[in-house]
Amino acid sequence: MASESLATRTIRGTLWTGSAFALQILTTLVFYRVLAIDDMGLFEWSLFIVMLLALLCDLGLGSALVQKREAGDSHFNAAFWVCLVVGAAVTAAVQWNIDAICGLVAGQDASQMAPILAGMMWIVPFAAISGIFRAKLQRDLLWRSMAGAEIASSVAHAASAFGLLALDFGILSAVYSAVVREAVLLIGLALTGRWLPGVAVSRESLKLILGFGLNLTGSRCINYVNSNLARIVIYGALGPAALAYYSFAYRLTLMPLVRISTIITRVFFPTFSAIQQDDALLRRVYVKSTQAVALAYWPALMAVIVFAPQLLAFVFDDPSQALWPMRLLALATLVKAVGASVGSIFLAKGRASWALYWSAFSIIVLVPSLYLVIDPWGLIGVCSVIAATSVLFLGLSQHLANRLIHLPYVTYLASLSRPLLLAGWVGGLSWVGSLWLPAAPW
């Protein structure tokens, strides 16, 4: 297979599997416009906890099934039943102890948070086994089928959200619609994957994939906590309203990148794994794919930086609370975007442990930095730390990836010249245009 063909399939897969995200952003904008800011802060805090538990229950077995090319139906069967049992057990344990858990993680907001967290915990068992069905589609590079399931889940999410809002369910509209989205996604992946698990569970089959999966789970959980350290610090020091303002800015800047990074891993990881022994081909595909992500992402971020006041004015009566956090997070995202596929190189080369070590290093750097700035500078200080450390992290992680595939830094940097020129042109044009537009232009 030619490198151009493989790169084209990779980029097309990213676009296909990411096509549902715009609808989710629209639904989020409606929630923030309609619901109380404190309630949205508690929703975001509950979502952080639930998604961490979902990562734990996944056990990394879906990705292990993609990386281990020799894995067959017996391995898929074992992975499905283990993830289902773990997901159900964790959900039951949290539901049984919901008041104590909310008291521990929410303090004085425990009574308001309890129904939110209890409802959202039903996401966990669905998410735990979705990765197994997704792995079936990933192995065959069936991005269109995967995108169909994700688009259907986004449509179901939006429809249920707007319906529940109309029925005056309040913050539970966000909770129940999130559960609906995960359930519909699971059904869609199962239907398009055309696979159902058998009842037999082989210990030998599980052993083949479990080591890789557990390493990856540790890396993912640490990386997830790492990417959400700001939420932990903000909620503890500034409360749910500040967390909501930060989360909104995050959702329009870093969250799309987090989603795209997840999509990139789903697309690039199996693609890179298929050519993991051919470094020359892997270098060409990696450079072209990274350039394509920058071309798609950098110009949009420049427009967000320029038009941040107008975007925020659509949602908040006082947009000043989120203005500079949004701009600083957009700058951080500009840097992080070009490193989004580094993790796929680590995984494709069988270096899941590298991702784990890297995530641990990031936490060691971020934790003291965030706590040093939260008191004097608040949200702006937190977002400044995120922007500054993103430069450091990109340089180090890219160095490791370049070593693995013998990619010269000059070649890598040269591939980013076109995205940089396009982003500068879009940013300049947006700034000139903003001078002629009214205060809150559609």
* 134 or 382, higher pLDDT: 382
pLDDT higher than threshold 80 for residue 373? yes
Buried b (16+ CB within 10 A) or exposed e, 303-320: bbbbbbebbbbebbeebe
pLDDT the model gives residue 16: 53
| pLDDT, tens only, 305-363 | 998 888 888 888 778 888 999 999 999 998 888 887 777 677 666 676 676 677 778 88
| pLDDT, tens only, 161-194 | 999 999 999 999 999 999 999 999 999 988 887 7
Q: How confident is the model at residue 88 (pLDDT cuts 50, 70, 90)?
A: very high
User: What is d(CA 381, CA 368) in angstroms, rounded to the nearest whole number?
Assistant: 13
Contact predicate 244/17, CB 8 Å: no
pLDDT the model gives residue 3: 43
Contact predicate 274/396, CB 8 Å: no
Looking at residue 345, what DSSP letter applies?
H
Q: CB-based burial of residue 397 (10 Å sphere; 0-12 exposed, 13-18 middle, 19+ buried)?
A: buried
Q: CB-based burial of residue 368 (10 Å sphere; 0-12 exposed, 13-18 middle, 19+ buried)?
A: exposed
User: What is d(CA 41, CA 62) in angstroms, rounded to the nearest whole number?
Assistant: 31
| pLDDT, tens only, 27-57 | 888 999 999 999 999 999 999 999 999 999 8
pLDDT the model gives residue 288: 80
User: What is d(CA 210, CA 55) in angstroms, rounded to the nearest whole number?
Assistant: 15
| pLDDT, tens only, 119-140 | 999 999 999 988 888 887 777 7
SS3 362: helix
Task: Quote the mean pLDDT of the chain.
Answer: 83
